[in-house]
């Protein structure tokens, strides 16, 4: 009730939620009460959570931030939604996001931009900007996000909260609207590493309905939280500390690293020579996959349909022209271009090869260290409108996050203070495959 009241008061300005349904939320709260009364509760029973609007939730409007799905009521639950339902968490509503998760500022949403609660002139980051804003503004204690090239970590950094993208394949993609399937991964966003560990315990698990879901033994992510970090070897990639990072971000990150030194961690310089190609590689591969995934939105099966059309071809064309925003159209054009005959070898295939080299760099680096640290975003939150007409500048928001994504590695962001204009700064922690517990431990010891 308290959170619903806060959402009612603050959401009209912040715009963090696209959809709320008080009846549904209160219904779930009653179910949670019953679970508690009958001794079926877990630590999370009755705790509210906000769901990014990329997750299908039975009976809920599920828009993915797009006009294309502005009338789509999902007939089923995403696995992630079901997992939280089963432990008795209460869905507070669906959070705003960049259209089809394409963006770094939440400005590509059909439902309008989200404001950064620390400074309402600033963007919250994206694409999980609504979730980051909801947690930062205390509209929800926890939220889900998805991260393809940085969409959990970058908004977490810009809003001063914690977020983790797990190893690719740990969390089911079933019912999560696809952007770039080989990169998409869901994860939790919350105030602390401890909260993330509890949420991750619910989200991680094999799902036969996701073909890339991994079958592994269950792990308790809270188990190592309190471990001392003395002796932890932190790798600092020299490429991440070169040009590009603004000085306010750099001082906050340096101060955080000094804390780790005090806690007994040691530092080693590592090199990720191919990481400078991560942004261009990402912006070939992600649009290529997106152009294929988004072909399903044709006005026939579900979603928006043009009102008037001459024939089937015209129905497709008009529906897609009306239903998709500019950024989505730009990605589809790039994607179909790099996949087309005559360009495939020069772009798509080349990018695939570079993707492997980027992953090999990490493999070598992890022979020398346990975790890699650096900035999450090169700058603090920028102003709403500032980068709208400059896609390249916008794409560079992912300069530190996209490399780990291409390698399928887990990455997280934790708040480490404030930069210029008192806007939050995030520390980026990259772990080796399946080292989420170790990352959460390092984050928890700092917090
Ligand atoms: N900002 C990146 C993009 O626009 C990443 C988005 C994401 O991770 N979903 O593609």
Relative to beta strand 424-431, strand 411-418 is antiparallel
Q: Does 101 contact ligand 1 (Cβ within 6 A)?
A: yes
What pLDDT score was predicted for residue 244? 82
Cα(262) to ligand 1 centroid in Å equals: 35
User: pTM of the prediction?
Assistant: 0.97
Residue positions annotated with a catalytic role? 52, 127, 151
Cα(31) to ligand 1 centroid in Å equals: 36
What pLDDT score was predicted for residue 405? 98
Residues 129/155, Cβ–Cβ less than 8 Å: yes
Q: Which helix H or strand E contains 13, and what residues bound it?
A: helix 2-14
Relative to beta strand 48-52, strand 90-95 is parallel
Q: Does 105 contact ligand 1 (Cβ within 6 A)?
A: no
Identify which of 147, 148, 154, 378 to mutate to test ligand 1's pocket (most ligand atoms within 8 A of the CB).
148
Cα(330) to ligand 1 centroid in Å equals: 13
What pLDDT score was predicted for residue 441? 98
What pLDDT score was predicted for residue 33? 97
User: How many Å separate Cα 433 from the centre of its chain?
Assistant: 18
Q: Does 148 contact ligand 1 (Cβ within 6 A)?
A: yes
- Which domains does the chain possess? 2-203 (3.90.1300.10)
CA angle 49-51-56, nearest 5°?
A: 135
What pLDDT score was predicted for residue 242? 83
Residues 332/291, Cβ–Cβ less than 8 Å: yes
What pLDDT score was predicted for residue 243? 75
Low-confidence ranges of the chain (pLDDT < 50): none
193-203 vs 436-446: helix crossing angle, rounded to 10: 160
What pLDDT score was predicted for residue 171? 98
DSSP codes joined into one string, 179-211? SSTTT-EEEEEESSHHHHHHHHHHHB---TTST
Q: Does 150 contact ligand 1 (Cβ within 6 A)?
A: yes
């Amino acid at each position: 009730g308290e959170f619903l009241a806060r959402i009612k008061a603050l959401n009209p300005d912040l715009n963090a939620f696209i959809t709320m349904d008080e009846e549904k939320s209160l219904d779930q709260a009653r179910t949670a009460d019953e679970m508690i009364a009958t001794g079926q509760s877990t630590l999370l029973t009755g705790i509210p959570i906000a769901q990014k609007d990329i997750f299908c939730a039975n009976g809920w409007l599920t828009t993915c931030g797009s006009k294309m799905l502005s009338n789509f009521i999902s007939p089923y639950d995403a696995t992630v939604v079901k997992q939280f339902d089963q432990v008795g968490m209460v869905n507070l509503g669906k959070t705003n996001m960049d259209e089809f998760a394409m963006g770094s500022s939440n400005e590509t949403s059909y439902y309008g931009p989200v404001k950064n609660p620390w400074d309402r002139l600033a963007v919250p980051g994206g694409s999980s900007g609504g979730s980051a804003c909801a947690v930062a503004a205390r509209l929800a204690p926890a939220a889900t996000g998805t991260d393809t090239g940085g969409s959990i970590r970058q908004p977490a950094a810009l809003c001063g909260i914690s977020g983790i993208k797990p190893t690719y394949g740990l969390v089911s993609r079933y019912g999560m609207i696809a952007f770039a399937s080989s990169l998409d991964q869901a994860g939790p966003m919350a105030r602390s590493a401890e909260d993330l560990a509890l949420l991750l315990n619910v989200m991680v698990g094999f799902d036969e309905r996701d073909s890339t879901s991994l079958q592994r033994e269950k792990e308790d992510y809270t188990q190592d939280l309190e471990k001392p970090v003395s002796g932890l070897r932190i790798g600092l990639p020299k490429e991440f500390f070169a040009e590009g990072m603004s000085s306010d971000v750099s001082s906050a990150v340096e101060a955080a690293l000094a804390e780790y030194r005090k806690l007994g961690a040691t530092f080693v310089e590592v090199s990720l020579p191919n990481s400078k190609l991560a942004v261009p590689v990402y912006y070939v591969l992600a649009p290529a996959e997106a152009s294929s995934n988004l072909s399903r939105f044709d006005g026939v099966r579900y979603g928006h349909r043009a009102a008037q059309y001459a024939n089937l071809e015209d129905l497709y064309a008009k529906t897609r022209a009306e239903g998709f925003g500019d950024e989505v159209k730009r990605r589809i054009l790039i994607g179909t271009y790099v996949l087309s005959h005559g360009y495939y070898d020069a772009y798509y295939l080349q990018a695939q090869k570079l993707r492997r080299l980027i992953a090999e760099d990490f493999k070598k680096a992890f022979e020398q260290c346990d975790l890699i640290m650096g900035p999450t975003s090169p700058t603090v939150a920028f102003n709403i409108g500032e980068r709208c007409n400059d896609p390249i500048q916008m794409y560079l928001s992912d300069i530190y996050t996209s490399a780990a994504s291409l390698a399928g590695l887990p990455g997280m962001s934790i708040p480490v203070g404030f930069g210029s204009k008192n806007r939050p700064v995030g520390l980026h922690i990259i772990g080796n495959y399946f080292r989420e517990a170790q990352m959460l431990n390092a984050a928890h010891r700092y917090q």
